[in-house]
Amino acid sequence: MSVLNGKKILLGVSGGIAAYKTASLVRLFIKAGAHVQVIMTPASKDFVTPLTLSTLSKNPVHSSFFNQDDQDAIWNNHVELGLWADLMLIAPATANTLSKMATGNCDNFLIATYLSAKCPVYFAPAMDLDMYKHSSTISSFSALKQFGNVMIPAENGELASGLSGEGRMAEPENIITFLEADLESKLPLKGKKILITAGPTYEAIDPVRFIGNHSSGKMGFDIASAAANLGASVILVSGPTSLNIKNSLINVVNVISAQEMYDACHLYFNDVDVAIAAAAVADYKPKVIAVQKIKKATDEFSIELEKTKDILLSLGKIKRNQFLIGFALETENEIENAKLKIQKKNLDLIVLNSLQDKGAGFQKPTNKVTFIDKEFKIEPMDLKSKESVAVDILNKVIEHFYV
């Protein structure tokens, strides 16, 4: 999965012949799973039509502060666009547009949006050879880099003037490759390996029946997805669940029983930097599993149970430098029980859920958690989507390594 997947990209198109390449660029962004909005300078419309880019991006194209043909003259909010974007790319970036960006000469909608943008800004220069090497252009490059903007270098090749040399805008495929590589290199969990458990375990009674619980696995899957989006390499050990996840950075290991989850966790634990135990593992299992289906022969039926191996406890005993995070789902004495679990299982952080909180627990899209670290610092969080809780958990991981 591309690191551009889900990203909100603002593409600024200025008036150079290379503008015709933006049709292919928008298609590649959409193919990568990005959401794209396009801003065109008036001059760029001579090289590619707004209709083309609107159709490909599936969004209206912006060019001015209000639409001339609109009788109500509704204002196009450049500030809102600048805040919407996860990243802004100006391609092609002509000498004229680069100069305006460098000096703040705000005479069109594109520059106004650029000056309002809070996200990373990339620019792909496109101009003739002598223009590319001119001192004023080099000065613009220098100023924009000092502002924190990232330059996607022009390529060598045949130019519109008939000359051949540096100044040709990078090909759309190369721009995508550049953006992906640059974004990946800046991801805070790049190079980290994280082990995550998710879902329930099923403990067999006979070939047909099992003891299980109501865990959907969503919390663990959301953590895995968020970790991969932050650059981590993830091993997701999942009990039985209907959920699926596709990401080249996530290795899904499917298990059924607590013993299988125990074995998988111990197989990978020594090689990871972080372990997050979000699975709802069965505490007990039948002592004897019937070989054949048990018949309904009596009014009463009892099953002798024995404890399963405590996965988190076992990992806490052998951990070296791993950052170990556990979950606690409690119905009473929540804080006290969570603190005891931190000490007993040698945890660095516990994510406490209470079934007393509305919107928390199994089979819900939301969760309300309290973080408690090994120093017993307590941090209650608001009710949030499980996706947002996953990000909060991983922010704790980032703080551990980098703060």
In angstroms, what CA-CA distances link 345 with 192, 237, 277, 311? Answer: 23, 20, 12, 10
Q: pLDDT tens, 332-342? A: 788 999 999 99
Average of per-residue pLDDT across 53-77? 77
pLDDT at 362 (0 to 100): 66
Q: pLDDT tens, 148-172? A: 999 999 998 887 877 777 889 999 9
Residue 358 has pLDDT above 90, yes or no: no
For the chain, report the end-to-end CA distance as a whole number of angstroms: 29
Residue 275 has pLDDT above 90, yes or no: yes
Catalytic center residues: 213
pLDDT at 82 (0 to 100): 86
Buried b (16+ CB within 10 A) or exposed e, 248-267: ebbebbebbbbbbbbebbee
pTM, 2 dp: 0.80
Residue 299 banded pLDDT, cuts 50, 70, 90: confident
pLDDT at 361 (0 to 100): 61
As a whole-number percent, the residues of the chain with pLDDT over 90 amount to 78
Q: What are phi and psi of 190, to 5 degrees?
A: -60, 130
3-class secondary-structure state, position 64: coil
Q: Is the dihedral of CA 214, 218, 219, 220 positive or negative?
A: positive
Buried b (16+ CB within 10 A) or exposed e, 103-120: eeebebbbbbbbebbebb
Residue 68 banded pLDDT, cuts 50, 70, 90: low
| Distance between CA atoms of residues 244 and 184, nearest Å | 23
Q: pLDDT tens, 227-263? A: 999 999 999 999 999 999 988 889 999 999 999 999 9
Of 45-49, 67-71, 227-231, 313-317, least confident by mean pLDDT is 67-71
pLDDT at 330 (0 to 100): 75
Q: pLDDT tens, 90-141? A: 999 999 999 999 999 999 999 999 999 999 999 999 998 889 999 999 999 9
**Domains of the chain, start order:** 8-185 (3.40.50.1950), 193-291+304-402 (3.40.50.10300)
